[in-house]
Structures are given as C-alpha cells and as structure tokens.
Amino acid sequence: MLATCTLGLSTMALAEAPDAVLPAYVCVGCHGTNGNSNGPAIPTLAGASRDYIIEVMEGFKSGERVSTIMGRIAKGYSKEEIERIADFFSRQAFVPARGQRSDPKLAGEGARLHEQYCEKCHAKGGTSPENDAGILTGQWTPYLRYTLADMLADRSRMPKKMKKRLQKLHRKAGDAGIGQLLNYYARGKLRGVDP
Ligand code: HEC
Ligand code: HEC
C-alpha cells in the first residue's frame, strides 16, 4: 500500500473498481493525490462533474481548448477510458488550493461581479460542480488567470452564453474586474464547498 500511496491514490480510492482507478495513475502524477493539485499551474480535478471532465478532455483532444500538454495526453485515451477516469475524479472530494492569498476588499467586489455574471452556471459562489461548469472557488489562481486570458483572447473555446457574459464583464470592469473575480475565487473561508 505504501508504494501506491506515493503514486497519488489514497487507500480509499484503491478500494474502488480497479478498471476506473488504473488509468487515473498517469493523471495523478501531475494532478495530485486523488486529483487535488499541489501546483499552481495544474488544476485540481477532484470533485468536478463527470460530464465536465469528459467535455474538457474532448476539447483538449480536438484542440478547441488550448493546452500546453493536455492535448497530447488526451489523444492517448479512448472515449471509454476517459469516461472511467472522469467517473473516478468526480467522486473524489475537492480540496481547496492551500495557502492562496485573497484581498477581502477585492474579493468583495469580485463577489458582486460573480453574482451578476457567473453565478447562474458556477453556482453557490463558484463552489459547486453542478451545471457541469467547473469548480472555480478554491481552484489555483494562476491556472484560472491564464485560462480566462486564453478564453478572452479567443485562443480557447468556452460555452457561448459564458462568452457573452465574460466579454461583457471585461468590457465594463476591465482587467481589474478579472482580478477582483480571482480574489473572490481565492477567498479563504469557503462556505458550502460541495463534497
Ligand atoms: C504531465 C502532467 C500532466 C498529466 C500527466 C496530466 N495532466 Fe491534465 N493538466 C495538466 C496541465 C498543465 C493542465 C493545464 C492545461 C495545459 O496546459 O495542458 C491540465 C489540465 C487538465 C484538465 C482541465 C481541468 C480544468 O478544470 O480546466 C483536465 C480535465 C485534465 N487536465 C485531465 C487530465 C487527465 C484525465 C489526465 C490523465 C489521463 C491528465 N490530465 C494527465 C497536466 C497534466
Ligand atoms: C451559461 C453558463 C455559464 C456562465 C454564465 C459562465 N460560465 Fe464559466 N463555464 C461554463 C461551463 C459549462 C464551463 C465548462 C465547459 C468548458 O470549459 O468548455 C465553464 C468553464 C469555465 C472556466 C474554466 C474552468 C477550468 O477549470 O478550466 C472558467 C475559468 C470559467 N468558466 C469562468 C467563468 C466566469 C468568470 C464567468 C462569469 C463572467 C462564467 N464562467 C460564466 C458555464 C458558464
């Protein structure tokens, strides 16, 4: 068991169906134990919805979602393997990124922007995986920053309705508004993070 733990899967995870867990070995090498990332440029996968993970992997495969390495990695997996891996990560508990700083004043401004432009899909203050929209609160800030920049610059695909709202927010509040949002998503005390 000791050796498997160092590979980034908890004993509990290993008690699951092995055909779901085994393909995930490669992923946890970068994405952290059970998909909770330790590195600011690599996103946490744990707790995201199954369909979200599948959709993002398909985006990487087709190139619609830009990536440094995920495009190449995603191409190595069949649809069925991706479904099993997505199943696995969606059932792991999300652990918020540790030690991130957030300015309470900026986070307060960000809360208002989030409520107006993003809450409809990124529910419960960005803590919820519902709507297959991805968990934003507690995700690594540097990762969110460059993902949003890629989306705003049209280098990377995002859902049509999200695009409208994100562009509107950016027109009205500028880069400062994006910074406020990021402070909100990095806020310390997370209320109601869904398991
Ligand atoms: C070599 C390190 C590495 C490995 C191995 C790896 N990833 Fe990634 N992953 C990344 C990086 C870095 C990103 C950010 C996108 C990019 O630049 O490629 C990412 C992004 C993602 C995202 C986007 C998450 C989000 O919320 O936007 C998903 C989903 C993902 N990876 C799934 C997987 C799965 C599933 C596997 C295993 C089959 C895997 N990754 C293996 C490094 C890795
Ligand atoms: C109409 C629903 C909708 C709205 C509104 C919306 N989003 Fe999204 N968002 C999604 C969905 C669905 C995804 C995942 C699918 C994808 O990435 O292709 C997503 C993905 C994201 C991602 C990528 C997450 C990751 O880990 O890679 C970020 C960042 C994000 N949204 C931020 C925002 C922000 C900020 C706002 C408000 C300005 C917003 N979204 C508004 C539906 C929405």
The pair of structure tokens assigned to 144 is 């969110």
Instruction: Judge whether residue 6 has pLDDT over 70.
Output: no
Residue nearest atom 19 in ligand 2 by C-alpha distance: 133
Do residues 17 and 35 make contact, with C-beta atoms less than 8 angstroms apart?
no
Q: Is 59 in the pocket of ligand 2 (CB under 6 A)?
A: yes
Cβ distance 127 to 190 under 8 Å?
yes
Which ligand is located closest to the Cα atom of residue 120? 2
53 touches 90 (CB < 8 A): yes
- Picking from 13, 157, 170, 153, the residue whose alpha carbon sits closest to that of residue 93 is 13
Asked if the model's pLDDT at residue 5 lies above 80, the reply is no
pLDDT at 193 over 50: no
**Residue in 32, 24, 11 with CA at minimum distance from that of residue 53:** 24
- Read off the pLDDT of residues 70-88 as tens digits, 9 standing for 90 and up: 999 999 999 999 999 999 9
Distance CA 134, CA 122 (A): 7
Burial class (CB in 10 A: 0-12, 13-18, 19+), 26: middle
Q: Whose CA is nearest to atom 12 of ligand 2?
A: 133
d(CA 164, CA 90): 28
Q: Is the pLDDT of residue 168 over 80?
A: yes
191 pLDDT higher than 60: no
Distance from the CA of 147 to the center of ligand 1, in angstroms?
12
- Tell me if 129 sits within 8 A of 47, measured CB to CB: yes
Q: Which residue matches tokens 């696995």?
A: 88
Q: What is the mean pLDDT of the chain?
A: 89
